[in-house]
Structure 1
């Protein structure tokens, strides 16, 4: 894992909910309620916040954050990203990794062709996708490739220490 001082965005503060400082929460964690397993939250204003209470509200979540006592207070933190320190994330097994760990890794084919560097990782609903920025002198004229992150079919291995992802992929695509 990278430096412990790195911050990770795990959600976003939504609109105020009521008049007593409650806010809607947009969670980016695997299970929406999982966002409340992390404390403290560091909001986009750089300050640390503790969660006083939270509950489901329909298909969404609402929370009462300590020292946010009114609707005006809730308005001031609306739309701020919710960060935690990277060292708050659970330790992963040998063959597991966070998307953030894949960003910046070199992507090479099983034949040794260098496709470029992972610029981003995102989910399409069907599977995760690697956005690979091609090298400036790509022989196939590619500037960027989108590769499905599907083990055994496309992704053959991920070498975390060497920062290399090996894929079975035709460089012409």
Structure 2
């Protein structure tokens, strides 16, 4: 693992499931099954990442459970509860043009069509109808804003995303 690249967190290990070392998986991917498109996984234990291999998985109601190589009983599985699951950034799937990973949008400067710098994307929120950019305003924001919530609706509010420049062009008034 390269020292200048940090893994991208795709989920975490939940509670143990049964007595044979299976564990519940919380996936941050679009589909809960999407986390199994990545192999091997990296698990973060006690601040350190280590590579693991998923030997089997299945859907259990709305959730998913998995078995990891070397984890053979409930006690071993319980030791992994709350461990983050990650992959290296270069393992991430290429997205079609016009689609973005949230991790790539965080930290982008948000500039409106009049050239006003509205701040930087601090996080994204999933609302059901559309995602929302949470933009932390600049310290000396002319409109006294601390943050702005901008719907991530392309062509209406989000006009252009320039990832190499870490910049997002929006049609949004700074006082809103």
TM-score by shorter chain over 0.5 = yes
SS at match of 1:151: coil
SS at match of 1:158: strand
Provide the C-alpha distance between the structure 2 equivalents of 1:103 and 1:49, rounded to a whole number of angstroms: 28
Provide the C-alpha distance between the structure 2 equivalents of 1:105 and 1:149, rounded to a whole number of angstroms: 13
TM-score, structure 1 length as denominator? Answer: 0.94
Number of matched pairs: 171
Provide the C-alpha distance between the structure 2 equivalents of 1:65 and 1:9, rounded to a whole number of angstroms: 17
Cα-to-partner distance string for 1:107-140 (whole Å, 9 max, x where unaligned) = 1110111101111112111111111111111111
Please point out which of 112, 115, 119 is paired with 1:116: 119
Q: Is the 8 A contact 1:4 1:87 kept in 2?
A: no
Q: Is the 8 A contact 1:131 1:145 kept in 2?
A: yes
Please point out which of 49, 55, 61 is paired with 1:52: 55
TM-score, structure 2 length as denominator? Answer: 0.92
Match of 2:35?
A: 35
SS at match of 1:77: coil
Gaps of 5+ in 1: none
Offset, 1:34:
1.4
Offset, 1:4:
7.8
Cα-to-partner distance string for 1:62-85 (whole Å, 9 max, x where unaligned) = 111100111100010011111111
Gaps of 5+ in 2: none
Runs of 4+ with deviation above 3 angstroms: none
